[in-house]
Chains A and B, each alone.
Chain A
Amino acid sequence: MTETAGSHHPYYKVFAWLTFFTIAEIVWAMPEGMPRWLLIAGLGVMATIKAALVGLYYMHLKYEGRLIWTVIVFPVVLVGVMVAGLLPDAFGYW
């Protein structure tokens, strides 16, 4: 039998992890006095994990082939170029 994405159902585990990381993000953002870079880095890592969980398991990217991945990687690379181009402008105002 050919395996498909629908053969696997870790959906509720993923839901539990998404809920956990959402609560963790809020808790992480609450305390005052934490170095700003550490706060933003922690939030960024947790948001990336959540986005990856949704993409890999709910959008079934874990089971997709190279063509779909290419379609996704291309805009991500372009976004990286755009952010790299814009950030010097942002810091230039200081």
Chain B
Amino acid sequence: MSSATAGAPSLQRAPTFFSPGKLGMWLFLGSDAMGFMGLIGLYMVLRISSPDWHNPALDPTMGLGLVAFMTFVLIVSSVTMVTGLAAIQRGSRKGLLVWLGATILGGALFLGLQAYEWAHFIHLGHDLAAAFTAETGRAAPFTGYQGTFFMLTGFHGLHVTIGVIYLSCIWLRAWKGAYSAGSNSPVELAGLYWHFVDLVWIIIFTIVYLIPDPAGGYAA
């Protein structure tokens, strides 16, 4: 190593510990990404082809604030996850337990907020459907917006739920002393899954909540 590079942290590509488990997780994430992209593609096509698409961030009760906070919670949970992995790679089991616990709490908080958001929109939908029926005497039509919004955010919420259970299992094993500086591959694999869930939400947040209606405007 030359003296010029000896003291500086090298960011050039270097091999990480490679395992069949890691390849398997990446194959799973690749196929899962295609599932998500199918739903996102469907959402985009229906939205583009509809002249009066409802943006959930325009709802005066929920606004953009709640979902922006949910996004922040997931971003924080990603940094706590990767900090937990770094801790066990240094041999700190206590660090792993603390940071992984924070990640699990972040995921649970996200799910609670999403449940609150869903409950609001479901009640709102019932009220709107009742008003439509009272006015026209017909059953309210099922819209593409309802189908794609609940399908897309629900599919992501299912992944968060599985992630919280997955991380809780890893936390329990860590508590029993299963991982060390030299043996932490399951923590890394769980981290890959969790970051993927965060990455998908970044895209959902932009496409579903941030792109406004053609009329524009937000309820902040």
Contacts and interface: CB of A to CB of B under 8 A. Distances in A.
A86 B46 CA distance: 10
A78 B211 CA distance: 24
Interface string A76-94: 1011001100110111111
A48 to B, nearest CB: 9
Given A30-B220, A68-B26, A79 B37 contact: yes
Interface residues on B, range: 35 or more
B125 interface: no
B6 interface: no
A59 B161 CA distance: 20
B154 interface: no
A12 B86 CA distance: 12
B164 interface: no
B71 A22 contact: yes
Interface residues of A, number: 59
Nearest to A3: B14
B218 interface: yes
A67 B23 contact: yes
B30 to A, nearest CB: 5
Interface of A: 2-9, 11-12, 14-15, 18-19, 22, 25-26, 29-30, 32-33, 36, 39-40, 43-44, 46-47, 50-51, 54-55, 57-60, 62-65, 67-68, 71-72, 74-76, 78-79, 82-83, 86-87, 89-94
